Amino acid sequence: MVMDYLDGECLAQVISREGFLDVERSLEIFLSVAEALEHAHWKGVIHRDLKPSNFIPTKTENGSDFAKIVDFGIAKILPTGDQLTQQLTQTGETFGSPFYMSPEQCKGDQLDFRSDIYSFGCVMFETLTGKPPFSGQNPVKTILKHLTKTPPELTNFVLRCIES
């Protein structure tokens, strides 16, 4: 296996140090992650554990922010053709980090690309606000919030960022 050497800190460390990222910098990171996810999904790969510690922000040659997705350790390759119909009932696998898990992931249901998109949305929320959209007193209570609560609106947080 050959991998890039990434020197630097993960997005979780950046958020911890800076509180949250401004909209302009966040958008550069989000666009690069979205392109990487599109590529993975096009190849039939679901990451299943998107979180700030799995994004490594780097700088491009022109100085703009760019992020790489790491840790495909629990990624799953979607079956194709006849394999798809044989695997549709396979459930009960629960992987991921509760702050970023999609509702279907929380329930142990069958996952597809949309689960990664939901998790990416949770990471985007935390990047812009400094905290995940749902947080409970323990992992089970956090999971229950993903299943039962309406996500908080991002508008108020983004306006705070723009005003400061």
CATH of the domain at 49: 1.10.510.10
The answer as to whether 6 is a domain residue is no
Is 85 within a domain? no
Whether 161 is covered by a domain: the verdict is no
Residue 84 lies in a domain: no
- How many independent structural domains does the chain possess? 1
Q: Is residue 164 part of a domain?
A: no
SS3 150: coil
pLDDT at site 37: 93
Q: Which residues span the domain enclosing 29?
A: 11-73+95-154
Q: How far is Cα 12 from Cα 55, in angstroms, rounded to an integer?
A: 8
Query: Strand pairing partners for 58?
Result: 66
Give domain status of residue 90, yes or no. Answer: no
Catalytic residues: 49
What is the residue-averaged pLDDT of the chain?
Answer: 81
Q: Does the predicted TM-score (pTM) go above 0.85? A: no
- Reported as a single tens digit per residue, the pLDDT across 15-43 is 999 999 998 899 999 999 999 999 989 98
- 131 lies in a domain? yes
Neighbours of 156 (CB within 10 A): 9
Between helices 155-163 and 113-129, what is the axis angle to 10°? 40
Q: Can you read off the two tokens belonging to residue 5?
A: 């050497």
Establish if 104 belongs to a structural domain.
Answer: yes
Angle at 102 between CA 4 and CA 54, to 5 degrees: 20
Question: Which residue has 């040659």 as its token pair?
Answer: 61
Q: What is the pLDDT of residues 103-114, one digit of tens each?
A: 998 888 888 899
| Cα–Cα distance for residue pair 109/78, rounded to 1 Å | 14
- Model pLDDT for residues 55-97, shown as the tens digit of each residue: 999 888 888 888 888 876 554 555 554 433 333 323 444 456 8
With the C-alpha atoms ordered 13, 17, 21, 25, is the resulting torsion angle positive or negative? negative
